Structure 1
Amino acid sequence: MAQGSGRKPLVAEKRYSAGGKGKPSAAKKPARKKPARKAKPRKTGLFGLFARKKARAKPAPKKRGFIGLLLAPFVWAFRLVWGFTWRIGMVVCLLVGLAVALQYAKLPEVSAYLDGRARGSVTLLDRKGEVFAWRGDQFGGVIRADTVSPHLKNAVVATEDKRFYRHFGISPRGVASAIRINLREGRGPLSGHGGSTITQQTAKLLCLGRVYDPAEWKSESAYEADCRKGSLWRKGTEAIFALAMEAKYTKDEILSIYMNRAYMGGGAYGAEAAAQRYFGKSANQLNPAEGAMLAGLLTAPSSLAPTNNLKRSQDRAATVLRLMQEQGYLTTAEMQQNQNAPAVLSEAAAARAGGYFADWVMDTIPDFLGDQTTEDVVIRSTLDQRLQGAAEEALNYIFENKVRPGSKAQAAIVVMSADGAVRALVGGRKTRVNGVFNRATQAKRQTGSAFKPFVYATALELGYSPYDRVLDAKYCMKIPGSGQWCPENYTRKFYGEVTLARALRDSLNVPAVKISEAVGRDKVSRVARDFGIDSDLAAGPALALGASESSLLEMTGAYAGILNGGSSVTPYGVSELKLVNDSDALMGASGGIGERVIRPEAAQQLVWMMEKVIAGGTGRRAQIPGWQAAGKSGTTSAAKDAWFIGFTAEYVAGVWMGYDDNTPLSGVTGGGLPAEIWRETMVRVHDGLTPKPLPMLEPAPIAPPPQQTRRERRRRQGPQLGKELGRAVDNILRDILGN
């Protein structure tokens, strides 16, 4: 380009900044001035501040697409619902918090909740001081979660609430799971599985803090039913109570309340009572199998109680052991070991609740110390468990081997000492029962010939000798309002002149009636009552033949009076009664030997007569090898009742057999099956004892009359023969004329 042309040379514009190579540099453009905005007057004060905040908070409107338009109603609805929900939630939380705080303030110290029984317990001990039965609400004492067997504690948590130590009293996950299971099984959401935590179950056991009030509830059962209600409102209040407990008590304290108050079957409340009831040991000594069995009872304590069905209880315990293994409380080897060696009952638990004997003892003490006691009572009884087992075994043996299968006949046995202390009592064929009809104490049945010893006791007391004679011949009496009554012997035969001893030995009816009439029925009745037969006695001549009704316990006690030398006896089963932890007894023996009824010589002669019954009379089947025994059989009209009562120098025993509906026994008399039951019982009772002789006295023989000539004998016998002939003629005329 030519110089001086006046034009400037061409220069390429700078494309890169000076700061770095290869980077373009933005061309500088002249700044464009924005038109000045007209300033608005600034608002001041509160309204101004609000307006500025509102202006800053409000974003610029955005354009919505098609999807935004579709979602707009849902977004609006969600915002509306959420706005109501969080506000209502806040109100509900506030109200729940207030309710929990109020409940928290009402909760007492934990010790007040450890024993919640409305009634006390009755513990029955045998004559050796060993527990054989329980009654009432048994409570073994307070246990705590930190001192109880860890196997029991772990079993309870594993079975009832595996998240117990992690939740705050309520388990939403557990509730949801329970509702899902209930709906799947076709039930209502709150029916069946409840999903309750241990804390909630404890709240239910406490009845949400409400104490039983007889003025509010008709009975304890109504109170308990009210506490178990499962309405939605009830569940809500239960949850509030549970939350308050979680705030007030520690987890172990809540678990302690639960394990002390939970019912575990068999009348046992709390783990300590259950451990004593079923295993005869304290709850802090339980092994895994025993702990699992107790924990398994919490689901259904009555039906799963090992005293009701041991196999079912063991099966449930095996499931609990598996849960303990799954949750890490046991190893697989420990689980299998305890499943293969399940828990078993103690001897006292195997005897269930003491059967008929315990029922009878409870009936003999005041209600305020028995069924209705509010205290814990201990009763020392007269029961000998070895003898009780002997009686039960003997009864079973006879019915299994001597009675036709399917027979509905019943039997009862009483064994006692000569002072009236009852050592064994069986009230029916089913021995492992309680609270049922007791045929030994409650049944009143005709005694038959078992009553005859009291007729002869009266005669001996009045000076008669066992060798005195009485005529066994046809004998009739006119009974006012009933006509003529002619007693007969069981054999339908008469045996002429017999001694009193033979008349009792062979159980002859006519001599017994004649002796009763001779000494006076009123005297016979008085002797029988004095010996302890309190039942109403017949007023007519049939008194001598056992037309009156009595219980087996009364009759056996009356025979004990004959054995002890002629003094009355009151049968008793209580030796001592006292409150737990008290050293002084509230009651002593409830019976024993009373006043004398007949002379010792008369009693000993009667024992001698009754020994002949077993040695060679109607009671031959009751003989005991090596022992002297005395007794009497009894069979009522139409064989509705059969008895055998007797004694050795050691024990008195009575047996009754018959039907509850008075159906006649087929081919059974008192000297038959009842005598065999008596024998089998007494053989077992005397096992291992040294034989002792009976306290009997053989009477002096009656001196024969002096020698007389034939003419003198005729002269003396003439008037007597004339009287006998006159009586015979009178009887024939009465039969002909019908008088």
Structure 2
Amino acid sequence: MATSGKGRSPLVAPKRTRKAPARPAPRRRPAVRRGGRRRGPLAWIGAVIRWAFRLVGGLAVRGAAVLALILGVAVYYFYTTLPPVEELLDGRARGSVTMLDRDGAIFAWRGEQFGGQIDAATISPNLRNAVIATEDRRFYRHFGVSPRGVASAVAINLREGRGPLSGNGGSTITQQTAKLLCLGVPYDPAVWETEAEYEADCREGSLWRKVKEAVYAMAMEAKYSKNEILTIYLNRAFLGAGSRGFEAAAQRYFGKSANQVTPAEGAMLAGLLVAPTRYAPTNDLQRSQDRASVIIGLMEREGYLTPEEVREARAHPAELSAAAEARAGGYFADWVMTDAPDFLTRKTTEDVILRTTFDPRIQRAAESALDYIFDAKVREGSKAQAAIVVMSADGAVRAMVGGRKFKGVAGQFNRAIMAKRQTGSAFKPFVYAAALELGYSPNDRVMDAPLTLNIPGSGPWSPRNYTGEYRGEITLTEALEHSINTAAVRVSEAVGRENVRKVASDFGIDSDLAAGPALALGASESTLLEMTGAYAGILNGGSSVEPYGLVELRLKGNDTPLIGQTGGLGERVISQDAAQQLTWMMSRVIEAGTGQRARLPGREAAGKTGTTQASRDAWFVGFTADYVAGVWMGYDDNTPLKGVTGGGLPAEIWQEAMSRISEGLPARPLPMAGPRAPAMQHAQPYAAAPVYGGGGAVAQSGGVPARGESFPDAAERLLQDVLGGLFGR
């Protein structure tokens, strides 16, 4: 309805209020035990897994924190024990011996040689780069341990069928340095009986040991710079042939400092790290060069060498120095090491310098002569051995060959000084030396005829000549010249065995000398060094010598010798006149006798052959005016030589050696003199078959003085004898 007028309300529809829909009554949840919600089996499994992960994660975090703490403590502990770098550069337990030849040049080393401290910053880049390329190309990028390197090494080992820790170890240079330092444990003789046991313990490859090495390596990385770690490594690494450190090795193999090596030389030195003895160039140069070629390839891969430098290095591989080629002085160096106390040589803790009598030129001549004769005249595969000694007339030994095929390591069997062998006819000069000293002349006569002696306790003994022939009455010179056995025995019995024994002993043959008449035929044993020294006494005019090789011993850096010369000239044994006559007689051995193969055209020489019973030993010992040389040949097991006598191969070896030794030297005459006056004519020659009684007394007049009878009395008796005189003086 309409409205009008004021005050009337407007027409408005009534306001409606929306009513919320009624909620349905909540359903009652079924009761669940312990207030939980019923879950399916998958929910339970998921919950357990989430719980386990939370537990393991928590434990891992806590464990890692604990391990990190332990590692930090361990690294800190080792860090506090590390000394200054300078104290770690020379870690040798023993010292070294450096040997100088007669001219003062180095020719041999023994012990652990340390060439002096070097710095990684100043050594040749060729050497530094070769070491890093070979051993640890990530050296400048890791913290002492290379996880990538370890993983790679484990994979390689497993792939090659080894255990994960066998073979490749993935060790960094820092870890290798830790091993060289033996984790800071010094050598203690009270703990390890030998240095070898100590070294073996330091190189133990157990898992625990590798963990300790890793910790020690990290401590080193914290303590030292990379350059300092590399410096320690370069100074302590063993590189074969007694060389400790790269400076010693460079000097040992190349005769130069580690600061000067070429790429080829640096590669060869770095190649020694994997197996120092196997790859030592003194053991097998070709093998060492092949290994160096591999290292050169690694250096190229790392960008250290250009292709042109690689071609040059491979085209001109590293070669040994002259001293290194001499194989560490060989037998001579071994021998001279015995001339001084052990605590200054083989067991020295100091660096020692030995000045010696050694002559490298003469050594090479002797070795090459021996090789030449064996190659040319001895069947291939023969096990026959030979030895040579060369010395001056005063006993200074210039060269020594103790056998064929020296292996380049110390301590081998030296036949020149260790082998005592029967001397055979090489002993006869001492028989005639005794006769000449007692007044006989080279032209006096002796009977070469069958001879039988009654030896008390042994019965009859009949020496025979090598040829089986007899010459009748001959001079003493002819008897020596042709090495007549019966004559030598007659002369020995005439002058008295004791006199012969004394002359030989005074000349330096220290071995036990035979007591019977076989003394004259060299039944006694001696060494080649002794025999050569005894002949030196004949050359020098009749004075004994003591063979020597050591001139002086001093400590490195000290000019005052601790030990001086150990041998030389001794007392006079026979007169100079007797020595000169004997030298003349021995020269006839070479000119017209059993030693003609030893002739030296244009040069005077004297000597004597020697062949023992059954040809087990063959000798030639002789001299020129400059040098005395002795040669022995035989088998180590005493097997008889076939077709070899002292006048054969030994004389040829002697001739070849002395020709090379004398090359370039002026030809000087021997100090010799022939007979002073013609010998008296004898009324009759010797009886054809004299027979001696026991003890050397004359049982039947056989033309020899009785033992103990003076030579004037013997001459008077013999001149009145119905059979005539023996020695007409």
Question: What's the TM-score once normalised by structure 2's chain length?
Answer: 0.88
**Which residue matches 2:276?**
301
Separation in structure 1 between the aligned mates of residue 4 and residue 477 of structure 2, nearest angstrom: 184
* Structure 2 unpaired stretches of 5+: 21-35, 694-698, 701-729
Residue 73 and residue 656 in structure 1: after superposition, are their counterparts in 2 closer, same or farther (change >3 A)?
Answer: same
Question: Hey, what does 2:157 align to over in structure 1?
Answer: 182
Query: Partner amino acid for 2:538?
Result: I
Show the counterpart of 2:341: 366
Inter-CA distance 287–703: structure 2 relative to 1 (3 Å threshold): closer
In structure 2, C-alpha distance between the alignment counterparts of 1:509 and 1:4, rounded to whole Å: 184
Q: Which residue of 1 aligns with 2:206?
A: 231
Q: Distance in 2 between matches of 1:137 and 1:683?
A: 38
Aligned residue among 662, 667, 671 for 1:686: 662
Say if 2:503 is the partner of 1:503.
no
Report whether the alignment pairs 1:263 with 2:202: no
Contact 1:381 1:574 in 2 (8 A): yes
Q: Displacement, 1:411?
A: 1.0
| Residue number in structure 2 paired with 1:538 | 514
Deviations 1:465-507 (A, max 9, x none): 1111112222211001110011121121222211111111111
8 Å CA contact 1:453–1:606 kept in 2: the answer is yes
Structure 1 residues 7 and 108: CA distance shift in structure 2, 3 A: same
Q: CA deviation at 1:334?
A: 2.2
Partner residue of 1:132 out of 107, 111, 118:
107
Distance (Å, rounded) in 2 between the aligned partners of 1:505 and 1:340: 57
User: Structure 1 residue 199: deviation in Å?
Assistant: 1.0
Q: 1:630 aligns with which of 606, 628, 650?
A: 606
Provide the rounded CA distance (Å) in 2 between the counterparts of 1:598 and 1:163: 75
Q: Deviations over 1:68-121 (max 9, x none)?
A: 766433222111101111111111211221122222111111111100011111
Which residue is 1:77 aligned to?
A: 52
1:425 paired to 2:405: no
SS at match of 1:654: strand
CA gap of 1:728–1:436, structure 2 versus 1, over 3 A, is closer
Q: Deviations over 1:432-459 (max 9, x none)?
A: 5332211111110000111010011111
Structure-2 change in CA distance of 1:251 and 1:361 (3 Å)? same
SS at match of 1:466: coil
Alignment of 1:452 with 2:396, yes or no, is no
CA contact (8 A) 1:472 1:510 kept: yes
Aligned to 1:147: 122
1:728/1:265 CA distance change after superposition, 3 Å = closer
Distance in 2 between residues matched to 1:279 and 1:703, nearest whole Å: 64
Alpha-carbon separation, structure 2, partners of 1:670 and 1:117 = 48
Residue by residue over 1:204-248, the C-alpha shift from the partner in whole angstroms, topping out at 9 and shown as x without a partner, is 111111111111112111111111111121112212211211111
Do 1:568 and 1:593's aligned partners in 2 also have CA atoms closer than 8 Å?
yes
Q: Does 1:464 align with 2:440?
A: yes
After TM superposition, give the deviation of residue 7 of structure 1 in Å.
9.1
3-state SS of the aligned residue for 1:284? Answer: coil
What residue in structure 2 maps to residue 104 of structure 1?
A: 79
Aligned: 1:604 with 2:574: no
| One-letter amino acid matched to 2:353 | V
Shift, 1:336, TM fit: 2.8
Per mean C-alpha deviation after superposition, the further-off stretch among 341-350 and 454-463 is: 341-350
Question: Is 1:204 paired with 2:179?
Answer: yes
C-alpha spacing 1:344/1:8, structure 2 compared with 1 (3 Å) = farther
Q: Which of residues 485, 490, 496 in structure 2 aligns to 1:520? A: 496
Aligned to 1:246: 221
Provide the secondary structure at the position in 1 that maps to 2:355: strand
The answer to whether the Cα contact below 8 Å between 2:451 and 2:689 also exists between their aligned partners in 1 is no
User: Are 2:532 and 2:628, in contact at CA under 8 Å, matched by a contact in 1?
Assistant: yes
Structure 2 residue identity aligned to 1:108: P
Letter in 2 for 1:568: S
- In 2, the alpha carbon distance for the partners of 1:726 and 1:403 equals 41
Counterpart of 2:415 in structure 1 is 439
Kept in 2: contact 1:451–1:546 (CA 8 A): yes
CA distance in 1, matches of 2:465, 2:119: 72
Assess, with a 3 A threshold, how the Cα gap between structure 1 residues 529 and 332 changes in structure 2: closer, same or farther.
Answer: same
- The farther-off stretch of 487-496 and 615-624 is 487-496
Answering whether residue 191 of structure 2 is matched by residue 216 of structure 1, we say: yes
Shift of 1:618: 0.9
- Cα pair 1:142 1:272 within 8 Å, conserved: yes
Match of 2:324 in 1: 349
**What is the CA distance between 1:600 and its match in structure 2?**
0.4
- Equivalent-residue separation in structure 1 for 2:468 and 2:641 (angstroms): 19
1:541 CA displacement: 0.6
Aligned residues of 1:608 and 1:696 also touching (Cα < 8 A): yes
Secondary structure at the residue paired with 1:299?
coil
Letter in 1 for 2:343: F
Match of 1:55 in 2: none
Q: What is the alpha-carbon distance in structure 2 between the residues aligned to residue 321 and residue 726 of structure 1? A: 81
Aligned to 1:378: 353
Change (3 A) 1:459 1:97: same
| Counterpart AA for 2:474 | V
Structure 1 distance, partners of 2:436, 2:265, is: 63
Letter in 2 for 1:441: I
* Cα offsets for 1:535-585 (capped at 9, x unmatched): 110000110110000011100010000000000011111122211111111
CA distance in 2, matches of 1:241, 1:65: 55
1:35 maps to none
Check the 8 A contact 1:415/1:653 in 2, yes or no.
yes
Find the partner of 2:264 among 289, 294, 313.
289
Deviation, 1:126, is 1.5
Q: Give, in angstroms, the shift of residue 397 of structure 1.
A: 1.2
2:388 is the alignment partner of 1:413: yes
Does the 8 A contact of 1:392 with 1:431 survive in 2? no
2-structure distance, mates of 1:433, 1:623 = 33
Shift of 1:727: 5.5
- What is the aligned counterpart of 1:333 among 308, 333, 336? 308
Match runs of 1:477-626 below 5 Å: 477-626=453-602
Secondary structure of the 2:191 match is: coil
Which secondary structure state, in structure 2, belongs to the residue aligned with residue 165 of structure 1?
helix
Distance 1:264 1:566, change over 3 A: same
Deviation of 1:2 after TM superposition, in Å, equals: 9.8
Q: Which whole-Å CA distance do the structure 1 matches of 2:643 and 2:38 have between them?
A: 111
1:356–1:433 contact (8 Å) kept in structure 2: no
Q: Which amino acid aligns with 1:428?
A: G
Whole-angstrom CA distance in 2 between matches of 1:182 and 1:174: 12
Q: Which residue of 2 aligns with 1:160?
A: 135
Structure-to-structure mapping, 1:6-155, within 5 angstroms? 71-155=46-130
One-letter amino acid of the structure 2 residue matched with residue 187 of structure 1: R
CA–CA distance in structure 2, aligned partners of residues 294 and 729 of structure 1 = 72
Instruction: Report the Cα distance in structure 1 between the residues aligned to 2:690 and 2:135, rounded to whole angstroms.
Output: 89
Mark the CA change 1:251 to 1:474 in structure 2 (over 3 Å): closer, same or farther: same
Match of 1:299, as an amino acid? V
Equivalents in 1 of 2:448, 2:315: separation in Å?
Answer: 72
Query: Contact 1:351 / 1:432 at 8 angstroms: preserved in 2?
Result: no
Q: Which runs of 5+ in 1 are unaligned?
A: 12-28, 33-60, 706-715, 735-739
Q: 1:10 to 1:691 in 2, by over 3 A?
A: farther
Structure 2 counterpart of 1:602, one-letter code: A
**C-alpha distance in 2 between matches for 1:433 and 1:148:** 28
How far is 1:332 from its partner?
Answer: 2.8
- Contact persistence 2:514–2:523 (CA under 8 A): yes
Contact map agreement 1:614 1:621 (CA 8 A) in 2: yes
Q: Give the aligned partner of residue 451 of structure 2.
A: 475
**Which residue type is aligned with residue 437 of structure 1?**
F
**Distance in structure 2 (CA, Å) of the matches to 1:337 and 1:514:** 73
Residues 356 and 551 of structure 2 are in contact (CA less than 8 Å); yes or no, is this contact kept in structure 1?
Answer: yes
Q: Distance in 1 between matches of 2:646 and 2:166?
A: 59
